[in-house]
């Protein structure tokens, strides 16, 4: 368990410090940029996420699946990055050619051609960053991975400071600082690992590529649907509400990203470790313990955020005050995604990646339905509920298909704790007196329901010879 925790700590340093940097960036941005302008910037960031998701072609996840089964890591890396990099270049050329049209789509006006072209360039850098960082991650180089995670977030923060203090305070300040900060941070990463991109002796291995595409294509469709799932709240607000509601909603997502710190830290470490454990045929009890510990940690973190939300939310500025009523439901996205990473391994190990399509469909249908029903009447409140509830479907369906394919981890305790958290989230949408004490009560209740997990930690400590977390 000690070696497990040391590696987890190593992978956590980067996301934690990086998230703290991002957390500093949020109040700086929201102080200078009003919700309406921030809403416009958030649509740009949303487009960026959706575009790169499709350009990956699902090969990023296929790469992590194949990594431990291939001896020639350089050959595998260059084969997996070839198509996404080629596609990103084609997209860049298209954006340069039709920059006015792209500007209209992204920003509502054809005059913003320079940020449009930079957007296309940033996509190429994001593809390179994604696969280089995956290579570092799969080698389990925890501290190196953390260093580059911090570097990229730091350059974005510095760019943001320069723009909002010295240049401008509209949505373009967010757009330019994000693009320039991202590119500058990625440049050092690319220079440091330029040998991975030495294609001089590159030979396309159609057998490996075909296997990865077969595995990755359903994941591409699933990722696309998941991207729509994550975007439909803001799309709904754009259709049935206004940029101010989008800005408040997006700013609240940034606060909920405190939990995404843990999500990124954990998954960065857990995915390569879990795949290695599967190859080593590690006893399922090890996976069960990690799942229970993840539930304990994430549920306690959420209740702590709810307890101190009146301290966190004012950091955004008074214009974003309603964010404190939305934050609870938006916490479910990072919580349930992280939990599902411990219960979904049967899908990956069985290579039945097509099951992710069913997961995506079973999640996106309630999401779209709830957004259509709730957003026109309740605005950002409705979008928050739709996002929070749909991720319950995501967790259950992911866990169910995994259970049916060999990873028989019970989620009864998970569901009980999650339902308690949903009850707490609903109550926190109202301005109730003494809410701080109600949230403290929720925190204690969640902990009491998981006393068994705490006892399990001591059992492992006293019976080390029966456990192997290396």
Give 251-263 pLDDT, tens digit per residue: 676 666 666 667 7
431-444 average pLDDT score: 86
Query: 87 pLDDT exceeds 80?
Result: yes
Q: Report pLDDT for 470.
A: 66
- pLDDT tens-digit readout, 51-79: 888 888 888 888 877 777 777 788 888 88
Q: Report pLDDT for 389.
A: 92
Task: Report phi then psi at 57, rounded to 5.
Answer: 60, 15
Cα–Cα distance list, 148 to 133, 154, 185, 281, 288 (Å): 8, 10, 8, 32, 31
Please name the residues in contact with 409: beta carbons below 8 A apart, sequence gap of 6 or more. Answer: 284, 287, 288, 291, 342, 343, 399, 402, 403
330-358 average pLDDT score: 82
163-179 average pLDDT score: 82
**Angstrom distance (rounded) from CA 391 to CA 230:** 10
Please name the residues in contact with 126: beta carbons below 8 A apart, sequence gap of 6 or more. Answer: 48, 52, 182, 186
Task: Report phi then psi at 370, rounded to 5.
Answer: -70, -40
- pLDDT tens-digit readout, 353-402: 778 788 888 888 998 899 889 888 888 888 889 888 999 999 999 889 88
Query: 430 pLDDT exceeds 80?
Result: yes
Residue with tokens 């500058």: 184
**Angstrom distance (rounded) from CA 427 to CA 449:** 20
Residue with tokens 């926190």: 428
**Angstrom distance (rounded) from CA 331 to CA 301:** 10
Assigned token pair, 307: 């307890």
- Confidence class for position 228, pLDDT limits 50, 70, 90: confident
Query: 28 pLDDT exceeds 90?
Result: no
- pLDDT tens-digit readout, 189-200: 889 888 888 888
Q: Report pLDDT for 97.
A: 92
Q: Report pLDDT for 152.
A: 81
Q: Pick from 4, 16, 26, 14: which is nearest to 260 by CA?
A: 16
440-456 average pLDDT score: 88
Q: Report pLDDT for 212.
A: 83
443-448 average pLDDT score: 90
Q: Report pLDDT for 88.
A: 93
- The gap between the terminal CA atoms of the chain, to the nearest Å, is 7
For the chain, the structural domain boundaries read 2-460
- Confidence class for position 150, pLDDT limits 50, 70, 90: confident
**Angstrom distance (rounded) from CA 344 to CA 278:** 12
Q: What is the pLDDT of the chain when averaged over all its residues? A: 80
Q: Report pLDDT for 167.
A: 83
Which of residues 340 and 317 earns the better pLDDT score? Answer: 340
Query: 183 pLDDT exceeds 80?
Result: yes
- Confidence class for position 314, pLDDT limits 50, 70, 90: low
204-232 average pLDDT score: 77
**Angstrom distance (rounded) from CA 259 to CA 16:** 10
What share of the chain in percent tops pLDDT 70? Answer: 83
Q: Report pLDDT for 422.
A: 93
Query: 154 pLDDT exceeds 80?
Result: yes
- Confidence class for position 281, pLDDT limits 50, 70, 90: confident
Residue with tokens 């919700």: 35
Cα–Cα distance list, 235 to 42, 101, 222, 226 (Å): 11, 20, 19, 14
- Confidence class for position 421, pLDDT limits 50, 70, 90: very high
**Angstrom distance (rounded) from CA 173 to CA 158:** 12
Query: 8 pLDDT exceeds 70?
Result: no
- Tell me the pTM: 0.68
Query: 4 pLDDT exceeds 60?
Result: no
Q: Secondary structure of the chain in the HEC alphabet?
A: CHHHHHHHHHHHHHHHHHHHHHHHHHHHHHHHCCHHHHHHHHHHHHHHHHHHHHHCCCHHHHHHHHHHHCCCHHHHHHHHHHHHHHHHHHHHHHHHHCHHHHHHHHHCCCCCHHHHHHHHHHHHHHHHHHHHHHHHHHCCCHHHHHHHHHHHHHHHHHHHHHHHHHHCCCHHHHHHHHHHHHHHHHHHHHHHCHHHHCHHHCCCCHHHHHHHHHHHHHHHHHHHHHHHHHHHHHHHHHHHCCHHHHHHHHHHHHHHHHHHHHHHHHHHHHHHHHHHHHHCCCCHHHHHHHHHHHHHHHHHHHHHHHHCHHHHHHHHCHHHCCHHHHHHHHCHHHHHHHHHHHHCHHHHHCCCCCHHHHHHHHHHHHHHHHHHHHHHHHCHHHHHHHHHHHHHHHHHHHHHHHHCCCCCCCCHHHHHHHHHHHHHHHHCCCCCCCHHHHHHHHHHHHHHCCHHHHHHHHHHHHCHHHCCCC
Which of residues 273 and 392 earns the better pLDDT score? Answer: 392
What share of the chain in percent tops pLDDT 90? Answer: 9
Q: Report pLDDT for 96.
A: 92
Q: Report pLDDT for 418.
A: 93
Q: Pick from 190, 216, 240, 267: which is nearest to 373 by CA?
A: 240
Which of residues 128 and 381 earns the better pLDDT score? Answer: 128
Q: Report pLDDT for 125.
A: 92
């Amino acid at each position: 368990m000690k070696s497990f925790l040391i590696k987890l700590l190593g992978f956590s340093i980067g996301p934690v410090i990086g998230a703290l940097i991002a957390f500093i960036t949020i109040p700086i941005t929201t102080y200078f940029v009003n919700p309406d302008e921030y809403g416009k910037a958030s649509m740009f960031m949303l487009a960026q996420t959706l575009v790169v998701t499709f350009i990956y072609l699902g090969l990023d996840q296929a790469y992590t699946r194949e990594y431990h089964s291939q001896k020639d890591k350089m050959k595998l890396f260059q084969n997996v990055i070839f198509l996404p990099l080629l596609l990103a270049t084609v997209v860049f050329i298209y954006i340069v050619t039709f920059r006015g049209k792209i500007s209209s789509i992204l920003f509502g006006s054809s005059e913003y051609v320079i940020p449009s072209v930079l957007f296309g360039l940033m996509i190429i850098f994001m593809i390179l960053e994604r696969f280089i960082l995956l290579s570092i991650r799969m080698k389990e180089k925890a501290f190196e991975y953390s260093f580059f995670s911090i570097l990229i977030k730091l350059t974005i923060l510095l760019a943001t400071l320069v723009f909002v203090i010295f240049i401008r305070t509209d949505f373009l300040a967010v757009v330019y600082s994000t693009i320039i900060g991202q590119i500058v941070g990625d440049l050092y990463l690319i220079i440091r690992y330029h040998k991975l991109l030495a294609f001089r002796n590159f030979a396309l291995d159609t057998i490996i590529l075909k296997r990865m595409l077969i595995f990755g294509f359903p994941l591409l469709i699933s990722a696309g649907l998941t991207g729509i799932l994550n975007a439909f709240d803001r799309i709904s607000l754009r259709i049935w509400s206004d940029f101010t509601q989008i800005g408040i909603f997006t700013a609240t997502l940034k606060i909920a990203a405190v939990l995404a710190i843990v999500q990124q830290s954990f998954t960065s470490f857990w995915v390569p470790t879990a795949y290695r454990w599967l190859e080593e045929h590690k006893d399922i009890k090890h996976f069960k313990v990690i799942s229970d510990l993840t539930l304990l940690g994430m549920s306690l973190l959420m209740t702590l955020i709810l307890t101190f939300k009146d301290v966190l939310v004012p950091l955004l500025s008074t214009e974003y005050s309603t964010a404190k009523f939305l934050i609870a439901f938006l916490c479910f996205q990072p919580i349930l995604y992280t939990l599902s990473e411990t219960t979904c391994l049967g899908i990956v190990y069985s290579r039945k990646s097509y099951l992710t399509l069913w997961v995506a469909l079973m999640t996106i249908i309630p999401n779209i339905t709830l957004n259509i029903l709730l957003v026109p009447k309740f605005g950002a409140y409705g979008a928050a509920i739709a996002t929070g509830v749909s991720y319950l479907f995501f967790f259950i369906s992911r866990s169910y298909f995994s259970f049916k394919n060999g990873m028989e981890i019970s989620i009864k305790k998970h569901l009980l704790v999650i339902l308690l958290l949903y009850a707490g989230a609903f109550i926190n949408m109202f301005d109730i007196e003494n809410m701080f004490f109600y949230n403290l009560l929720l925190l204690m209740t969640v902990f009491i329901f998981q006393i068994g997990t705490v006892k399990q930690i001591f059992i492992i400590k006293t019976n080390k010879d029966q456990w192997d977390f290396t």
